[in-house]
Amino acid sequence: MSEENENNRDEDGFTDTITAILVVVIPVVAVIYWLSGLPNS
């Protein structure tokens, strides 16, 4: 039971890490893409 619980925590930590990375990367990529489409003066 303890081993299964620990495995669950590891998966949750991995999922949280991926989610945190995506929450940061997606807006940054969106802003860069948006800015690249603006006309240059």
- What is the residue range of 2's domain? 1-41
* Number of separate domains in the chain: 1
Amino acid identity of 28? V
pLDDT in tens, 1-41: 456 666 677 788 999 999 999 999 999 999 999 999 877 65
pLDDT score for 25:
98
The C-alpha atoms of residue 33 and residue 3 are separated, in whole angstroms, by 44
Tokens (6 digits) for 5: 């619980």
- In what helix (H) or strand (E) does residue 38 lie, and over which residues does it extend? none
pLDDT score for 11:
82
pLDDT score for 6:
66
Tokens (6 digits) for 35: 């800015």
pLDDT score for 34:
92
